[in-house]
């Protein structure tokens, strides 16, 4: 029984048998042209066909975006800022949303920010700033760029030194430092830690400097230290002909 073409719904495919003849196997995916003599066939049943292994569905992970509904309860942290430019402190509150709670992909991301103070002098621009920052937080993505942008804002009337010798170029910059502290706290910014060798080296340098110029008298850094351009801290001293920062380790000699 020979056939030139086969266009039925159930098509067959010839396979060689042990006697050299052809064995027909049912296929359902396409139609084949028969060019050899059909001497036998076999119909495959559902039991003969191996089931297709389905890959497990990957869980859909939540990411911060502006379409997420605000939950009833948010986790928050409040930071106090006290500047010599005002007798009243500022209180910065940053509320966070927990994404993918209870899973291995759980993460904490900032959702909104509020700034409160008894000083109403800066109320207008502070309110506008908090709304803009909150909008950036809710937009999603990497919001860490806000920190560097705010820390680079300088007050035309001059900045001020905080306790410990840290220089603040403006009130906006100090708000930026507070946001940076929070982002480090929740893990969005990975702090650069000095090695034990670097810490021991800076401790030795400080002891040598104080032995020559006197004790710091309870101050964070020696009184004769100058401002470090890298960490904005009054902690850079001259040791062995090289300016070295006792806070971050910055050295003019590399």
User: What pLDDT, on a 0 to 100 scale, did the predictor assign at position 52?
Assistant: 66
Per-residue pLDDT band for 218 (boundaries 50, 70, 90) equals low
Secondary structure E strands in the chain? 11-16, 22-27, 41-42, 75-81, 90-99, 107-117, 160-161, 167-168, 226-227, 234-239, 242-245
> Which has more confidence, 228 or 252?
228
Mean pLDDT of the chain: 80
User: What pLDDT, on a 0 to 100 scale, did the predictor assign at position 232?
Assistant: 78
Per-residue pLDDT band for 250 (boundaries 50, 70, 90) equals confident
Give the percent of the chain with pLDDT over 90. 32
pLDDT at 75 over 80: yes
Q: State the pTM of this model.
A: 0.63
Per-residue pLDDT band for 214 (boundaries 50, 70, 90) equals low
User: What pLDDT, on a 0 to 100 scale, did the predictor assign at position 49?
Assistant: 64
Per-residue pLDDT band for 254 (boundaries 50, 70, 90) equals low
Q: Are strands 75-81 and 90-99 parallel, antiparallel or unpaired?
A: antiparallel
142-174 residues labelled b (16+ CB within 10 A) or e (exposed): ebeebbeebbeeeeeeebbebeebbbbbbbbbb
Secondary structure E strands in 39-176? 41-42, 75-81, 90-99, 107-117, 160-161, 167-168
Give the percent of the chain with pLDDT over 70. 78
pLDDT at 116 over 90: yes
> Which has more confidence, 126 or 240?
126
Query: What's phi and psi for 130, nearest 5 deg?
Result: -65, -35
pLDDT at 42 over 80: no
């Amino acid at each position: 029984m020979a056939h030139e073409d086969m266009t039925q719904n159930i098509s067959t495919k010839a396979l060689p048998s042990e006697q050299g003849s052809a064995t027909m196997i049912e296929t359902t995916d396409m139609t084949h042209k028969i060019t050899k003599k059909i001497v036998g066939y076999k119909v495959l049943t559902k039991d003969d066909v191996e089931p297709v292994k389905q890959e497990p569905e990957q869980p859909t992970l939540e990411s911060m975006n502006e379409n997420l509904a605000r939950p009833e309860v948010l986790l928050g942290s409040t930071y106090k800022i006290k500047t010599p430019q005002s007798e009243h402190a500022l209180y910065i509150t940053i509320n966070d949303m927990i994404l993918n709670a209870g899973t291995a992909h759980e993460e904490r991301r900032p959702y909104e920010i509020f700034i409160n103070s008894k000083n109403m002098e800066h109320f207008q621009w502070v309110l506008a700033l908090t709304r803009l920052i909150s909008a950036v937080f809710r937009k999603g993505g990497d919001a860490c760029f806000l920190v560097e942008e705010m820390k680079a804002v300088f007050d035309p009337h001059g900045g001020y030194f905080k306790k410990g010798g840290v220089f603040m170029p403006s009130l906006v910059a100090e708000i930026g430092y507070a946001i940076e502290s929070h982002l480090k706290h929740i893990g969005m910014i990975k702090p650069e830690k000095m090695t034990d060798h670097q810490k021991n080296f800076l401790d030795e340098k400080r002891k040598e400097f104080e032995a020559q110029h006197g004790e710091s008298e309870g101050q964070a850094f020696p009184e004769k230290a100058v401002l470090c351009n890298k960490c904005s801290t009054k902690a850079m001293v001259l040791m062995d002909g090289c300016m070295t920062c006792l806070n971050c380790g910055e050295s003019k000699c590399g």
